[in-house]
Structure 1
C-alpha cells in the first residue's frame, strides 16, 4: 500500500455530519517530492499533492536556488483543532530530493467540548535513501481543556537524512489561562530500514504527578524537541552545540543510535523557538553542507 492509498483507508471521510460524541471531521494531505534531472541540474520537484478537506499547500518555493531545497508551506485554514477534528499528513521524499516543510503560523489546540470529544493529528514522514527532509513547523499552542493525540512517525531508508522539531506551548500564560485541565498525548517513532531508533510516548496531563514533579515536567509551560538523523559525527555535533549555545538556558542535548536529540523545558515560547533556530543554524551545515535559509513566511 502506498502512502497515498493509506490516506483513504485509514481515515473515514464520511463521519463529519454528526453532533454527538462520535463526530469527527477529517482532513488529509499527501505530498511526494522527487529529484528530477533537468538542464539546470538535479532539482527537487513536488510530484504529488493530494488533499481532502481544509488541508493543502501553496506552490513550492526555491529561495536557495533551483538546486537547493524545495520549500513548501502547509496550510490549515481553520488555524486549529477542535473536538472531532482529525488531520493526517503524509510526506514522501525520494532519493536525491531535498524538501523543507513548515507552516505559516502557530497551530492551536482548542478546549474540548461538553462531550469531551478529542482531536487527533497524525504525521508520517518517509525519506528514501539519499533523500533529505527538514520538518520545521511553527509552534503548537495547547489551550486549557484540550484533549487529543499527536503522533509523528519518521521512516528513513539507507542514508536518508532528517532534521525536525516540535515546539509545544501549554496554556496561555500571558492571558493568565494556564493548562490546568485536559490531556494531550504525544507519540514519536523513528526508524531506519525498519529498525526502531527512537520511540517515545509523552502524556501531558496536569493532574498527573509528573506534570509538576521535578523529575518530570516540573511545571514548565513550554517544551521543545529537536531531532537530527544522518550526521556523519554525532558527538562532534553535540560538542559544536554545547559551544555555540553555552549561554542559552533550559536545554540539554544527547545522541544515541545515530539520533541527536535536543530538549528544551521552560516558560518562554521565544526562548524555545530561538533555541531551535540556533540549533538548526549549527546542525544544517553539518547535516547537508548548506547554511540555513529562513523560510520567508516566518518573517511576515
Structure 2
C-alpha cells in the first residue's frame, strides 16, 4: 500500500469526523441557560450554563441596558461558515423572569457542497419559560451557489413567554457575479406555546424548481427575511404600528395570526432587508417589552 493509499484509508476509517468521503460529519454544539437572579437593586439575568463541543461558543455576557435589562450574548463560530458535513446544534433556555438577547458577530456563510454533495445542517432549539423574554437576532446568512443543507429553528414558549426574532438569508454572491443557480437549502420553523403549534413552516430553496423563478413563489429574489414577534398585548395594533413606521414598498408585508406577528421581505438587497427588520424591531420592542431597542455593540464594529 502506498503512502497516499494509507492516508486515504485513515481518512475513511477515522470515526472522529475528519474524513473526506460521503460520510463526513463534523459536529459542534452549544447549550446555554439563563436565569433571573435577585441582586441588589433588582433582578439580573445571568448566563448560568454554557457548554460547548467543537468550534461553537460564547465568551461573556454584556449588560448595555443596565440593571434589569437584557443579558446580551454573542454566539461565536470561529470557522465563520458551514461546509459539507458540518452539523451545528444550538440550544438555549431562558428561565422564568429572565431576558436574553442572542446575536452573532458577523454574517454566517453556507459554502458550496463538496464533490460528494454532502449536506451541512444547523439546528437551533430555543425554550422560553413563563414570564421570560428571548430576542433572537442573528446577523444575516450568506448562501453560496451549490450549497446543500438544512436549517431549522424550533421555539418553545411556556405560559406568558415573549419572543422576538428574525432570520435573514442572502442567496449567491451578486457582487462577484456568482448567483445561486444550483444546490438545495431547506428551512424549517416551528413555534409553539405550551405545546400548541402557533406557526409551522417549511421552505425549500432550489433554484432549479419552477417555484424559485415563478412570480407565485420566490420570483427570482436573492434576499429574503422573516421577522416574528409573539407575546404582544395587541398584535393587530402592532401590525399597524409597523406599517406606519416602515417605508411603503412592495417588497415587504406584515400580518398576524394566532397572536404571532410576521414581517416578510423578498427582494435583492441585504441592506434593505436588514434595515427593515431592525426598524421593525425598534418599533415592536417597546410595545412588547416596555423598553426601547438597545443595539448590540457588535453590530457597530
User: TM-score normalized by structure 1?
Assistant: 0.95
Equivalent-residue separation in structure 1 for 2:27 and 2:182 (angstroms): 25
Query: Are residues 1:168 and 2:150 paired?
Result: no
Instruction: Structure 2: state its 5+ residue gaps.
Output: 1-14
CA distance in 1, matches of 2:290, 2:169: 29
For 1:126-184, what per-residue CA distance to the aligned partner results, in whole angstroms no more than 9, with x for missing partners? 00000000000000000000000000000000000000000000000111100000000
CA distance in 2, matches of 1:279, 1:129: 25
The offset of 1:96, in angstroms, is 0.4
Q: C-alpha separation between the residues in 2 aligned to 1:246 and 1:149?
A: 32
Partner of 1:21: 22
Q: In the TM superposition, what is the alpha-carbon distance from 1:17 to its structure 2 partner? A: 2.5
Q: How does 1:98-247 map to 2 (within 5 A)?
A: 98-247=99-248
Deviation at 1:15? 4.2
TM-score (norm 2): 0.94
SS of alignment partner, residue 87 of structure 1? strand
Would you say the 8 A contact 1:15–1:23 is kept in 2?
no
* Contact in 2 for aligned 1:248/1:275 (Cα 8 Å): no
* SS class of match (1:75): coil
Q: Is the 8 A contact 1:34 1:47 kept in 2?
A: yes
Q: Distance in 1 between matches of 2:173 and 2:162?
A: 35
Match of 1:5 in 2: none
Structure 2 SS opposite 1:298: helix
Structure 2 partner of 1:35: 36
Whole-Å separation in 2 of the counterparts to 1:77 and 1:66: 31
- CA distance in 1 between counterparts of 2:59 and 2:289 reads 25
**Whole-angstrom CA distance in 2 between matches of 1:67 and 1:204:** 41
Quick check: 1:93–1:131 contact (8 Å CA) kept in 2? yes
Structure with max Cα Rg? 2
Q: How far 1:245 moved relative to its partner?
A: 1.0
Give RMSD over aligned pairs.
0.8
